[in-house]
Amino acid sequence: MQSKPQLMKLLKEVSRSFYLTMRVLPGSIRMQISAAYLLARATDTIADTELIPAEVRVEVLQRLRAAILAGQSSSFVEGDSQVSALLQAQGETSEKTLLENVGEVIRRVEKFSAEDRADIHTVLETITEGQLMDLKRFVVGREPETVRALQTEEELDEYTYSVAGCVGEFWTRICRRHLYPQAEINEEKLFENAIHFGKGLQLVNILRDLPADLKNGRCYLPEKSLQKLELSVESLKNPDSYPILRTYYKWYLAKALFYLQDGAQYLEDTPGRWRTWLMRLGCTWPILIGAKTLKLLGETNPLDPTQKVKVSRKEVKSILFSTILRGFIPDGWKDLFEQTFKEANRSVVCHNRTELPREEPSKN
């Protein structure tokens, strides 16, 4: 796995969708972002391996985190019974291949410049902190068949930053350094929108995966807000609870949509129309797919586990085709975003505001 093609081959095996985005990135940033993604995917695999006791996952994750931050490529996999058990639990999957080769990815990171290496270490430190927090909060010591929830809106905001918002921040630092180092821009606003972009994508995942998370003992909708609606966490397992939850749930759909709109603004404000064209093209796809997912969620009962919400392959292909064509037309992406956001907004708007915990969904 010493060469670039081998790194990209591993990326293709573990994530075909993200691989598409990476393939169109400029060469000057492709390897840095790909390596960071692979390390984050490796730590996420450890955190999510339910066949291994949660306490063991915490310990192994902490050790991999230390290895990444120290650049110690040989200190994780070799000769360790806990890691061997974790690898065995993966079966013959791409995740197992990734974990077996994580030392090679760490070695690749150590070949980057000091600035790029520091940014990768920083984002992985933040991501793994969120993953460890997630394990300790939801899994360690939890009784079977019970559900644990986040307590406050602040905890949810902290979580979305630690596992996704920080990625937008990292992405922008790498792009700023390699693609538009001399451009005069409003950096504060650019980084704010980059963070919102990441948070928005994570909120889409949380809102879409609500029934599956409940089944796995996790609720990311804050318990204190649910209590204001006289709902318990357990009651969300019943699809009949949705009429009570609807306004609050749509409030979060609107917040996620606001964040994705900030993501679109982030792309528009990114300097270098042609120099950054491929990078911005790769970013249009998750924004548009996310907005269409929010539209579908607004039209269904998200507590019903039998209703699988997913943008169709046909529509994804249509998005890929239309964004490439429109990318050569002035304001082509802007028009496409506006049209998609308008359609999503009609679906997520809820006119009954009496159940909202506050007047407007905050974008902070």
Query: How far does Cα 255 stand from its chain's mean position?
Result: 16
Domain count for the chain: 2
Q: Which of 123, 141, 159 is the last residue of a domain?
A: 141
At 72 the three-state DSSP class reads: coil
Q: Is the same domain home to 79 and 171?
A: no
Domain boundary among 124, 141, 158: 141
* E strand or H helix at 236: none
pLDDT in tens, 251-263: 999 999 999 999 9
136, 159: one domain? no
pLDDT tens digit sequence for 289-319 = 999 999 999 999 999 999 889 999 899 899 9
Containing domain of residue 68, as a range?
1-141
The structure's pTM equals 0.88
- Say whether both 77 and 169 belong to one domain: no
DSSP summary character for residue 93:
S
* pLDDT of residue 352 exceeding 90: no
* Closest to 10 in 3D by CA, of 78, 93, 71: 93
Rounded Cα–Cα distance for residues 157 and 171 (Å) = 19
The CATH number linked to 319 is: 1.10.600.10
Q: Enumerate the H helices of the chain as residue ranges.
A: 4-14, 16-23, 27-48, 54-70, 81-89, 94-100, 102-109, 114-138, 153-160, 166-178, 187-208, 210-215, 223-228, 242-269, 277-298, 313-326, 332-348
- What's the CA angle centered on 176, arms 316 and 291, to 5 degrees? 25
Whether 121 and 157 map to the same domain: the answer is: no
Pairing verdict, β 218-219 and 148-149: parallel
Report the C-alpha gap between 142 and 135 in whole angstroms: 10
The amino acid present at 324, given as its one-letter code, is I
Give the least confident one: 4-8, 71-75, 132-136: 4-8
Report d(CA 315, CA 340) in Å as an integer. Answer: 12
6 pLDDT band (50/70/90 cuts)?
Answer: confident
